[in-house]
Amino acid sequence: MILSMYINAGLISLIYPIAVFGYALIEETRPRKEFWKWVRGYTTCLLFFKFIVNLSILGPVMETDLFILLQGYCKIGIFDYNELGPLIMYMIPEILILVFLMLHEIHLKLNGLYYQIE
């Protein structure tokens, strides 16, 4: 999640450090399964949104003066890449977050801790 904030620094990636350091570390034991479901849902929606934005049909929208002004002042974290390499590097942090969340969920289920609250 920190890698996502480092690579895609913007408002949409700011949720991850706030969620991890602001909520997950404050939990007395470990974060509940609802927290991880919320993070997985947010990451999936974010990844889908990034994919939709990078379709060629939205290219003219990304080049408008309003979007460039908004991106300059607010640093949203949405970019339009024309080549596959930078696009993959742009989306890889969220893909890794989803992979590790699913591995964490499988690990908890195999150990019998998924439905347990300490």
Residue 51's contacts (CB-CB under 8 Å, 6 or more residues apart) are 91
Q: How far apart, in whole angstroms, are the C-alpha atoms of residue 52 and residue 76? A: 16
**Counting runs of H as helices and runs of E as strands, what totals does the chain give?**
6, 0
In this predicted structure, what is the pLDDT of residue 29? 80
Measured between alpha carbons, how far is residue 21 from residues 27, 29, 37, 98, 101 in Å?
A: 10, 14, 17, 18, 17
* Statement: the pTM of the whole predicted model exceeds 0.75: yes
Model pLDDT for residues 62-114, shown as the tens digit of each residue: 788 887 887 778 777 787 888 888 888 888 989 999 999 999 999 999 998 88
Whether 11 contacts 79, CB under 8 Å: no
In this predicted structure, what is the pLDDT of residue 38? 93
> Is the pLDDT confidence value at 118 over 70?
no
